[in-house]
Amino acid sequence: MYTNAYRLPDPLPWAALADSLAAAEDRLARLDERLRASPIQAGWCARTHFADSCASLWLDGELVPLEDLVLHDAHRDIHAPTRALIRAQAVLRARRRIAAADPAWALSPAGLDELRGRAGEGDPDTEPTPRDTAPGLDHGFDAAGGLFPNGFSAEGGPEGQLADAFAAVEAAVGRTTQRLAGDTARPERDPLVYDLEWNEENRLNDWRAAVAETAALPPVLAAALALDAWEQIAPLQHSPWLGRLLIPALLRGRGKTKAHLACLAIGLRAVPRDRRRAGDQTARLIAFVNALAAAAEAGLKEHDRWAAARILLARKLTGRRATSRLPALVDYVMSRPIVSAGMIAEELRITPRAAQNLVADLGLREATGRGRYRAWGIL
């Protein structure tokens, strides 16, 4: 039975944290201010959602190619999705949900329940979740009964979408039947998959209590303490990555990052594992603060590189007719790490052949090295 709560260091090691805190606060502020007035803010946020999702899986020991995640998100898979890819898609959808919601939503009781798949009466561990509805953030997706209930479809055609719709209807009917029968108890979990003594509710309450104790501290220090508390308490058995999204939500809710959702996983990937897992609490806090600084620094570099690329692409629009689809393609390319002919055709409502002609006009780099199922982007 879980009984241990997280304890904040008393006194706080201000002298050891001062330099790292100052650097992280400065870099996060500069990145947020640059994005606030940037013409590529929306594209930067959309692209970093993909990159941070892949980095989050990397921290858990799973390798998900960025290309595969982009194509899977666009229903343009070129091979059957792996379990790691499905988990990365869940992280991606969670990031988008948090970024689109009110800054205080993610840490609210309703937000936490939805993000961990506990909103409503149904249990996502036993019910299929439609691809484009709730985030479905547990690990319970599988290629047979989750995203592709009627088998894998490389084209992501209407058959798969229709199957998702039927699955949603069946899940709703099941919940209604359960409620009418007066049975609101949650199904018992499989002891082979879950530790039945792992009290998620108590652990989550302890984590929220630790976060509440940081309310008077600077945002970056509060975020580092909240992340350390999440790592030590481990509220969720099968979704440890959710904490790496709640910490950026905390920074956004505190007003530190108003124009973007921090890419914590990218920053953590730049910090050695032995520092992130150190036995000394102060050493871990310094590592987490440095991770936030690294994430902001990487974001600044990527922003400047993508902004320069957009300027070069915009020069190729000079002299084009008013009905040209090239400006729309530039905007779409800025919002995705890579794009395929099928993705462009669907987004711009043109034929795949016309999409390839537009790509040639812009001179985008081919990213896959393949003769078929090619993709292009700003790399």
- Supply 188's token pair: 């018992």
Question: Residue 365 pairs with which residues in a beta bridge?
Answer: 377
Residue 236: which of 204, 277, 196 has the closest Cα?
204
Q: pLDDT tens track of the chain, all 379 residues?
A: 455 678 888 899 999 999 999 999 999 999 999 999 999 999 999 999 999 999 999 999 999 999 999 999 999 888 889 999 999 999 999 999 999 999 999 999 999 999 988 765 444 343 333 334 334 444 333 333 333 333 333 344 554 566 566 666 766 666 665 555 554 445 555 555 555 567 788 889 999 999 999 999 999 999 999 999 999 998 888 888 999 999 999 999 999 999 999 999 999 999 999 999 998 999 999 999 999 999 999 999 999 999 999 999 989 888 888 888 999 999 999 999 999 999 999 999 999 999 999 999 888 888 877 777 788 888 6
Contact (CB, 8 A) for 94 and 245 = yes
Q: Where in the chain is the domain with CATH 1.10.10?
A: 316-377
Please state, in angstroms and rounded to a whole number, the distance separating the CA atoms of residues 249 and 261.
Answer: 7
Supply the angle between the helices 219-233 and 243-253 in degrees, to the nearest 10: 160
Please state, in angstroms and rounded to a whole number, the distance separating the CA atoms of residues 109 and 250.
Answer: 14
Q: How many CB atoms lie within 10 A of CB 37?
A: 8
CATH of domain 316-377: 1.10.10
CA distances from 1 to 77, 199, 203, 265 (A): 43, 7, 11, 30
Q: Which phi and psi angles does 143 have, rounded to 5°? A: -65, -20
